């Protein structure tokens, strides 16, 4: 089925176009990782939307990153690049490239990161032929049509066949991944097996000063492990979704 190819369509066609003309993306992009309820096994109903993490890593340059949890916004962290502490003696030469995603004090800026990545994606789209149904992309001997929209921190791509069948949405969720780091200042040790955690540029929409410097924590890899070890929890989650869906439908019908 078409949705079985979503990772390949993005990874084998769109990602190479994004790498082609952008040095920073080519360097810090690491891989695509699966996310969301479909890949966790908790999806209820027909799969027509998927989350793919665009995983970026900054350890390629052996740069020290200072993760600050000492603020009042629970679940968010502030990340500063420490060029002086970099283990690579030549790390300063990368500073100019990283200005595209940092502020004047070398803090990672989620607004700049989202804008930068959106420009990379749009540059890739603009290399494709544009037809009446969207951007044309060839994969596996077939033509697919793609349209796009922004939705929170994600960049949503709607992919379908020329006849309009089998349309599904893929949310490209940008994130930065850190390996085996224990958080401090109020966070318990969740990471006994040294699994990576990620930060996502989820907007706070001006709720606090300098909110563009705060990144939302994501523990998706840990969540997958917990779900796989928890027996019937996946089935319980699906059942809760079924019941919630039925309640919503009944509520709507009662108002008609």
pLDDT tens-digit map of 39-61: 454 454 555 677 889 999 987 66
Q: Are 106 and 112 in contact (CB under 8 A)?
A: no
1 band by pLDDT with thresholds 50, 70 and 90: very low
Q: Could you tell me the sign of the dihedral formed by the alpha carbons of 185, 189, 194, 196, in that order?
A: negative
Which of 45-59, 118-132, 179-193, 236-250 is least confident? 236-250
Instruction: Give the pLDDT of residue 198.
Output: 87
Q: What is the pLDDT of residue 247?
A: 47
Q: Which residue has the higher pLDDT, 50 or 109?
A: 109
Between strands 49-56 and 168-178, the pairing is: parallel
Instruction: Provide the whole-model pTM.
Output: 0.79
Burial class (CB in 10 A: 0-12, 13-18, 19+), 255: exposed
Q: Among the listed ranges 4-8, 17-21, 99-103, 185-189, which one has the minimum average pLDDT value?
A: 185-189
CA 82 to chain centre: 24
Nearest C-alpha neighbor of 68 from the set 199, 193, 173:
199
Query: Among the ranges 75-79, 91-95, 101-105, 240-244, which has the highest mean pLDDT value?
Result: 101-105
Of the ranges 84-88, 137-141, 159-163, 232-236, the best mean pLDDT one: 137-141
d(CA 116, CA 24): 10
The chain-wide mean pLDDT, for the chain, equals 77
């Amino acid at each position: 089925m078409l949705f079985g190819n979503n990772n390949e369509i993005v990874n084998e066609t769109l990602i190479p176009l994004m790498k082609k003309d952008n040095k920073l993306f080519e360097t810090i992009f690491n891989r695509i990782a699966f996310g969301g309820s479909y890949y966790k096994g908790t999806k209820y109903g027909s799969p027509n939307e998927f989350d793919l993490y665009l995983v970026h890593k900054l350890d390629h340059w052996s740069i020290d990153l200072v993760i600050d949890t000492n603020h009042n916004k629970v679940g968010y962290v502030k990340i500063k690049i420490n060029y002086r502490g970099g283990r690579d003696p030549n790390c300063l030469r990368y500073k100019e490239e990283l200005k595209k995603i940092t502020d004047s004090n070398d803090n990672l800026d989620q607004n700049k990161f989202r804008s930068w990545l959106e420009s990379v994606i749009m540059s890739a789209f603009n290399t494709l032929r544009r037809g009446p149904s969207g951007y044309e992309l060839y994969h596996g001997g077939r033509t697919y049509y793609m349209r796009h929209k922004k939705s929170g921190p994600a960049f949503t791509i709607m992919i379908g066949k020329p006849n309009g069948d089998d349309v599904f949405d893929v949310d490209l969720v940008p994130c930065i991944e850190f390996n085996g780091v224990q958080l401090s200042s109020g966070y318990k040790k969740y990471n006994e097996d040294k699994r990576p955690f990620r930060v996502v540029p989820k907007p706070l929409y001006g709720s606090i000063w300098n909110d563009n410097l705060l990144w939302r924590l994501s523990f998706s890899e840990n969540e997958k492990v917990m779900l796989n070890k928890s027996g019937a929890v996946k089935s319980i989650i699906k059942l809760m979704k079924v019941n919630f869906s039925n309640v919503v439908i009944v509520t709507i019908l009662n108002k008609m």
